[in-house]
Chain A
Amino acid sequence: AQSVTQLDSHVSVSEGTPVLLRCNYSSSYSPSLFWYVQHPNKGLQLLLKYTSAATLVKGINGFEAEFKKSETSFHLTKPSAHMSDAAEYFCVVSGGGADGLTFGKGTHLIIQP
């Protein structure tokens, strides 16, 4: 069994300040972990993925995430927020099976001008 918890339903930051979106997971296997972004009325777009290579993963648009096995966390960060980063972000864990994707409930990122 696997699960994923996004610790904040909403995060609000000012433009130009750092972003931190928190994700904890549980999995019986060595999981693959993903972060996706969704803009309003759009599908989800992959930001980055962890599949047991380097623990610090760099993604698109300046985002990165660090896999910490001891803390079962996979937090998403960005050094400087941009207005275009305003969106819904999903943390996803995969156990590798065909139906094995588990989605977090999402974090709504708000960027204040």
Chain B
Amino acid sequence: DGGITQSPKYLFRKEGQNVTLSCEQNLNHDAMYWYRQDPGQGLRLIYYSQIVNDFQKGDIAEGYSVSREKKESFPLTVTSAQKNPTAFYLCASTSVTGESYNSPLHFGNGTRLTVT
């Protein structure tokens, strides 16, 4: 079955350590996204990528970094510069028709990161 795989499901880190969250998709989607979810806040966009080797900052990119070396993979690194990294992180992807991004997003099951 096609889908998006995020790993690990739960991640615990000490403050000051960088940590990388994995996101892999086999849907052949061009566009991929990282969102952060906090209780009562909805989803906030961290980074997105429309094509391999290219990505753009979202609304809350500070303290995060990404790479897009392969179409299938879009890992997110939470750096020590992120002041409040404990959150639920969701990866998503979508197909693109011409210039239109009106196709629905497909989501992974998320990674819950706890930093102490």
Stretch of A15-23, A74-82, A97-105 contacting B (4+ beta carbons < 8 Å): A97-105
Bound Cα distance from A105 to B110, whole angstroms: 18
Whether B42 contacts A105 by the Cβ 8 Å rule is yes
Q: For B6, B44, B101, which residue has the most chain A Cβ atoms within 10 angstroms? A: B101
Q: Give the contact-size bracket for chain A.
A: 20 to 34
Contact flags A29-46 to B (C-beta < 8 A → 1, else 0)? 000101010000111111
Which chain A residues in 83-106 approach chain B with CB under 8 Å?
Answer: 90, 94, 96-101, 103-106
Contact flags B1-36 to A (C-beta < 8 A → 1, else 0)? 000101001000000000000000000000100000
Given contacts A98-B48, A99-B48, A99-B58, contact A34 B104 (CB under 8 A): yes
Chain A-chain B contacts (Cβ-Cβ < 8 Å), number: 62
| Nearest neighbor of A34 in chain B, beta-carbon distance | B104
Whether B43 contacts A90 by the Cβ 8 Å rule is yes
Bound Cα distance from A98 to B105, whole angstroms: 11
Bound Cα distance from A42 to B110, whole angstroms: 6
Whether B50 contacts A98 by the Cβ 8 Å rule is yes
Whether B102 contacts A96 by the Cβ 8 Å rule is yes
Q: Min CB distance, A12 to chain B, in Å?
A: 17
B63 within 8 A of A: no
Task: Choose among A42, A46, A51, A98 the residue that contacts B31 (Cβ–Cβ < 8 A).
Answer: A98
- Which A residues lie within 8 Å of B58 (CB)? 99
Q: Min CB distance, A61 to chain B, in Å?
A: 16
